[in-house]
Structure 1
Amino acid sequence: MNVPRGNNVLSNLATVRSRFRFGWLAIPFLLLVGLILFMGSWYTIDQGERGVHLRNGAVVGTAEPGLGFKLPLFDDIRRVSVQNLTQPYEKIPAYSKDQQTAEIKVSVSFHVPPGDVVALYSEYRDIEGLTSRLIDRQVPTQVENVFGKYTAVSAVQNRVQLVQDVTKAIRDSIKGPVVIDSVQIENIDFSDAYEKSIELRMQAEVLVQTEKQNLEKEKVNADIAVTQARGRAESSLALARAEAEATRLKGEAEAAAIKARAEALAQNQNLVELTKAERWNGQLPTTMIPNSAVPFLTK
């Protein structure tokens, strides 16, 4: 049976159109695949990070900060922070040496050395794994162990030494691709009963100090009063001595004057008569004894 020639032409034309339409649809797909391959052939690493270069899941090297290139679809870059990080621990329960309960707030600062990023990825995969499997397990234990060596009072009074001891214990216990930069004890929260007893003790100590201060004040006031009384007594004694000395000197002077006058009168009788004349007021006595001499008149 012969097929009409026109039908063959139409069939071939339909096939060409179908292939042409498929070609146009493939172009966007190929462009998308090319874009994906292009975008997957390079990467960038920030300054505070290091990259672990993987090829089909195996570590083949590290990636430094900046622009880098890799095989698309086969290579992968896992970024690891090498900056200083801080892990807080809000309430770590612990007992002091004198069996006082406390909840301690601690923060641990650490960083991963750039040369240890491969070891970190191989053992812990990422920072979260390192923190949960290594740091989180050691910090509460070491804080509790060190705090148990201090009494409640000494833990508060020797806060700096407590922090140093806790830091050393944590550093010694954590072995891995990490460096513990510092440990801070931000708060020590004792039980309400113990804090109340501390408050009462502090009030009692304040009262004792106040009484001591009052006693010292009274002692000082007493010393001042004694000193003032001694000063007044010494002043009065000095005044009495001065008056006595003045009286003595006056008496000696008067006695010396009397003696001198007596000696002068004894040596010169006329001086006696002169003295009488000087003191006579010029009047004669109104009453006289018979045959007596008239005063101040010589025979």
Structure 2
Amino acid sequence: MSKTIIGAGLTGVAVLVGAIVGAMSVYSVDAGETAIITRYGEIIDTKTSGLNWKSPVEDVTYFSTREAKIDFGEFDKNTGDVVSGLSAYTSDRQTATVALTLTYQITDPEQVYAKYKTTENMLNTLVAPRVRQQLEIVFSKYTAMTAVEKRGEFATALRKEISEVFKGYPLVINDVQSVFNFSKEYEQMIEDSVNKDVAVRNQERQTRIIAEQVRAAQVQAESEAKIKLVQAEAEAKQQTMKADAEAHAIKVKGQAEADSAKALAEALAKNQDLVALKTAEKWNGVLPTYIPQGTVMPFVQLPNK
């Protein structure tokens, strides 16, 4: 009898274990996902990638931690015209229609579940209102014309403001792409005004270029004039120095000749024989063919017998 009771007990346990195991279900979590395991609404565990088991009283809520996008509005990629989107006013009270694409990533799935339960609910109750608010704030700092003229600056400012407003929340903003349009009439007016400003700036730039060219020509002319002046002064100085040198040479030569003549005269005065010597040096050795009577023989002193 005891064996029968024990056997029956073991059978009951096996049936209970089998029933429990049968009631357990298998679930898998993909890479890039986080599964929040709850029991009666209370978070009891989180799972990342892999195969897991859960009891019938446990629920699994999946959150993607991959990068995702949410669109606010739509625009034509061919023309760039905004088909639909959010509205905002510029500082000069012009209405802009803006199409936004927000790239985000969930960083804390448990907090998303605790505060918003689902990703969709978080996007609707947290993200969308704050995006609209920051869009209006940024647009209010621009006039319609400056927003058009400085689209790149506007896009950077909008990306920065939207990214910073979600700091401390269970998601991060990786990128914000924006396209905006005003009414066709106003955009045409802006385009005409911008073209006019561009034409004025081009004219001013052309005027500056011409003025710079004139100044450059003046500087070059002045430089060339200075170079010619320096060259002329150098040449004049060179001529003066040459003339001074020639005059000095003539003076020196004249002085030398005068000194030589003076010395010769003094020598002749002191020595009469030197006169005969100089005369003999200059005589060519030819006697005159006719000597008048009573004329002394020139140049030759005949010895007395």
**When the two structures are superposed, what TM-score results if normalisation uses the length of structure 2?**
0.60
- TM-aligned CA deviation for residue 293 of structure 1: 9.1
Structure 2 residue 252 is the aligned partner of structure 1 residue 253? yes
Whole-Å Cα distance in 1 between the matches of residues 71 and 277 of structure 2?
A: 123
Whole-Å Cα distance in 2 between the matches of residues 166 and 237 of structure 1?
A: 74
Structure 2 residue 104 is the aligned partner of structure 1 residue 110? yes
Tell me what 2:153 maps to: 159
Q: Compared with structure 1, are the counterparts of its residues 68 and 272 closer, same or farther at alpha carbon in structure 2 (3 Å cutoff)?
A: farther
Structure 2 residue 32 is the aligned partner of structure 1 residue 48? yes
Same amino acid, percent of matched pairs: 24
Tell me what 1:78 maps to: 61
**Correspondent of 2:170 among 178, 202, 227:** 178
Whole-Å Cα distance in 1 between the matches of residues 299 and 93 of structure 2?
A: 121
Moved more, 132-141 or 89-98: 89-98
Whole-Å Cα distance in 1 between the matches of residues 69 and 295 of structure 2?
A: 138
Whole-Å Cα distance in 2 between the matches of residues 280 and 47 of structure 1?
A: 136
Matches within 5 A, 1:1-299: 41-53=25-37, 58=41, 60-65=43-48, 66-72=50-56, 75-87=58-70, 107-112=101-106, 113-122=108-117, 125-126=118-119, 128-149=120-141, 152=146, 156=150, 159=153, 163=156, 166-167=158-159, 169-171=161-163, 173-174=165-166, 177-184=169-176, 191-269=190-268, 278=281
Whole-Å Cα distance in 2 between the matches of residues 153 and 231 of structure 1?
A: 59
**When the two structures are superposed, what TM-score results if normalisation uses the length of structure 1?**
0.61
- TM-aligned CA deviation for residue 43 of structure 1: 0.8
Q: Compared with structure 1, are the counterparts of its residues 38 and 143 closer, same or farther at alpha carbon in structure 2 (3 Å cutoff)?
A: same
Which amino acid in the other structure matches residue 255 of structure 1? Answer: G
Secondary structure in 1 matching 2:112: helix
Moved more, 61-70 or 146-155: 146-155
Which amino acid in the other structure matches residue 237 of structure 1? Answer: A
Q: Compared with structure 1, are the counterparts of its residues 223 and 107 closer, same or farther at alpha carbon in structure 2 (3 Å cutoff)?
A: farther
Equivalent residues of 1:147, 1:155 under 8 A apart: no
Gaps of 5+ in 1: 1-36
Gaps of 5+ in 2: 1-20, 76-81, 182-186
Secondary structure in 2 matching 1:238: helix
- TM-aligned CA deviation for residue 183 of structure 1: 4.5
Q: Compared with structure 1, are the counterparts of its residues 69 and 255 closer, same or farther at alpha carbon in structure 2 (3 Å cutoff)?
A: same
How many residue pairs get aligned? The number is 256
Equivalent residues of 2:35, 2:60 under 8 A apart: yes
Which amino acid in the other structure matches residue 153 of structure 2? Answer: R
Residue-by-residue CA offset, 1:31-60 (whole Å, 9 max, x unaligned): xxxxxx97981111123222244567x455
- TM-aligned CA deviation for residue 229 of structure 1: 0.9
Whole-Å Cα distance in 2 between the matches of residues 264 and 77 of structure 1?
A: 140
Whole-Å Cα distance in 2 between the matches of residues 100 and 292 of structure 1?
A: 140
Q: Compared with structure 1, are the counterparts of its residues 242 and 43 closer, same or farther at alpha carbon in structure 2 (3 Å cutoff)?
A: same
Q: Compared with structure 1, are the counterparts of its residues 60 and 138 closer, same or farther at alpha carbon in structure 2 (3 Å cutoff)?
A: closer
